Amino acid sequence: MGEIALFGDINVDVLMAIPRYPGPGEDAMATQITLQPGGSVANTAIVLAKLGAQTRMISRIGDDRWAEIALQPLIDSGVDVTHVTRDPIETTGLIFIPVVIDGERTMFSYRGANLQKSVAEIERGIFTDVSLLHISAYNFLVSPQREATWRAVELAAETGVGLTMDVGVEPAVHAKSDLENILPGLSILVIGFEEAQLLINAKTPQDAVKEFLDKGVQLVGLKLGRDGCIIASQSERFILPGFEVDTVDTTGAGDAFCSGLIYAMLKDMSLSAGGMLANTLGALATTVWGGGPVLPGREEVLEFLSKRLEEFNEVEKKMWAREVIEVLSSAAV
């Protein structure tokens, strides 16, 4: 299994637990506050590393007090940060995330130095021994990060590296042209139904999956929140219900889900087992406060599925869970 290169934002997340969102001019009194590393792709890199994959980040941070808070947990998780550069002017990305009592969060983002990653920093050597390049669709919103991302995509294609992408709401609205152009080259597309509606005007989840496959995407992971997901390729399609867990905070759940599909592809797992791994990681991510280093990895998945194995009534679900357990257990040896 080759390494995974991940190109996207590295931020510091400031999470604040609040009882409700305030109205205009009102105050929201936080009952808890935490500072930790964040960024969609950075979260995915950490979870992949926790699963046992070799990962390398492509990003840019500031030369400030926030930089070490953002970077050190990646290093501690085993992520290669050789290609994370420092910006002498712009600050490290900073995101304020109020979280209400049902676990739903809203983000107020300053992306800072992330946006200054330039084409000159994207060298062919980044892709030595790399199997997949994972990118965030947010990369296409602002230059020069946009041009740097297209350069990375070009080099990945030239060197035979597969391409995966995670799509959020903002790029689905404001970077449609870039996303439409990149779809035919994707090995994996991870997207929520809301984003699919915005990007391709999909009427139903099934319609969204079909259209993305028709556009050339090899594997679609359509997130349906608490309802689970649809995992589909040209030859197979599975609707997997979500797991019932005690949700604390949804930060990083989609990033963890994404890690599951990427890892499953690299390990040649079945489509159904890959979907179960992704669903498990996404569900477990909602049971912890924040993202980054607290997100689940191999041990948490093994414990969760081992306990749930006998609860599955369907033979197929037992088979999928056993495949996930077997792959993760063998990787730990």
pLDDT of 8 > 90? The answer is yes
Contact 273, 301 (CB under 8 A): no
pLDDT of 333 > 70? The answer is no
> Averaged over 282-292, what is the pLDDT?
92
Domains of the chain, CATH where assigned: 5-332 (3.40.1190.20)
In the numeric block, which tokens belong to residue 89?
A: 């002017």
Angstrom distance (rounded) from CA 291 to CA 249: 9
Contact 215, 184 (CB under 8 A): yes
Contact 166, 136 (CB under 8 A): yes
The predicted pLDDT at position 36 comes to: 86
Angstrom distance (rounded) from CA 58 to CA 173: 24
> Concatenated DSSP letters for 171-202?
HHHH-HHHHHHHGGG-SEEEEEHHHHHHHH--
Angstrom distance (rounded) from CA 72 to CA 84: 12
Confidence of residue 115 (pLDDT cuts 50, 70, 90): very high
The predicted pLDDT at position 15 comes to: 86
Cα atoms in the Cβ-side hemisphere of radius 13 Å centred on 241: 6
Angstrom distance (rounded) from CA 296 to CA 245: 14
Q: In what order do the strands lie in the sheet with 130-136?
A: 80-87, 55-62, 3-7, 130-136, 162-167, 188-192, 219-223, 229-233, 237-240
The predicted pLDDT at position 299 comes to: 97
Confidence of residue 289 (pLDDT cuts 50, 70, 90): confident
pLDDT of 141 > 60? The answer is yes
Q: Tens of pLDDT along 27-53?
A: 888 898 888 889 999 999 999 999 999
> Averaged over 233-256, what is the pLDDT?
93
Confidence of residue 313 (pLDDT cuts 50, 70, 90): confident
**Torsion angle of the four alpha carbons 150, 95, 263, 241, in this order, in degrees rounded to the nearest 10:** -120
Angstrom distance (rounded) from CA 298 to CA 325: 9
What are the distances in angstroms from CA 229 to CA 138, 241, 297, 314?
22, 7, 20, 17
Classify 147 in phi/psi space as left (phi over 0), alpha (psi -120 to 50) or beta: alpha
> Averaged over 315-321, what is the pLDDT?
91
Q: Which residues contact 330 (CB under 8 A, 6 or more apart)?
A: none
Average pLDDT of the chain to the nearest whole number:
94
Return the residue matching tokens 């947010």: 138
In the numeric block, which tokens belong to residue 261?
A: 């599909």
pLDDT of 75 > 70? The answer is yes
